[in-house]
Amino acid sequence: MKTDEKMEKLPDETLLKPILINYMNEIDGVLAVAICDRNGFIISSEFKQQAADESVIGVISAILDSYIDRIKSEFGSFGNFFNITITGDKKFAFASMGPHSILTTVADPSTSDVELKVYSEHVASKIELVLKGNEDVSPQIPEIIKALSKTRGGQLSKLEGEFSNKLILTGDYAVGKTSLIRRFVENKFEKDYISTIGVQISKKIVNISEQTKMNFIIWDIGGQVKQMAPYRKKFYTGTNAAFIVVDRTRPDNLKSVDFWFNDIKKQIPKDISIVIVGNKSDLVDEIVISEDDIRTIAKEFGFHYILTSAKTGVGVNDAFLYVAYRVIEIL
- Closest CB to ligand G3D among 40 and 315? 315
Within 10 angstroms of residue 222's Cβ, the number of other Cβ atoms is 18
| Residue among 301, 294, 293 nearest 277 (CA) | 294
d(CA 203, CA 93): 28
CA dihedral over 83, 100, 134, 48, signed as positive or negative? positive
- Closest CB to ligand G3D among 239 and 312? 312
22 binds, among Mg ion, ligand G3D, none (CB under 5 to 8 A by kind): none
| Residue among 229, 316, 235, 227 nearest 275 (CA) | 316
Q: Which of 22, 178, 215, 267 binds Mg ion (CB under 5 A)?
A: 178
Shortest Cβ 5–ligand G3D spacing (Å): 36
Cβ–Cβ < 8 Å for 92, 69: no
| Residue among 201, 204, 178 nearest 311 (CA) | 178
Q: From residue 146 to residue 185, what is the string marking binding to ligand G3D with x (rule CB under 6 A)? A: -------------------------x-xxxxxxx------
- Closest CB to Mg ion among 20 and 167? 167
Q: Does 272 bind ligand G3D (CB under 6 A)?
A: no
- Closest CB to ligand G3D among 166 and 280? 280
Say which DSSP state 55 is in: H
Shortest Cβ 178–ligand G3D spacing (Å): 3
Shortest Cβ 283–ligand G3D spacing (Å): 5
d(CA 105, CA 95): 8
Report the interface residues with Mg ion, using CB under 5 A: 177-178
Report the interface residues with ligand G3D, using CB under 6 A: 171, 173-179, 279-280, 282-283, 309-311
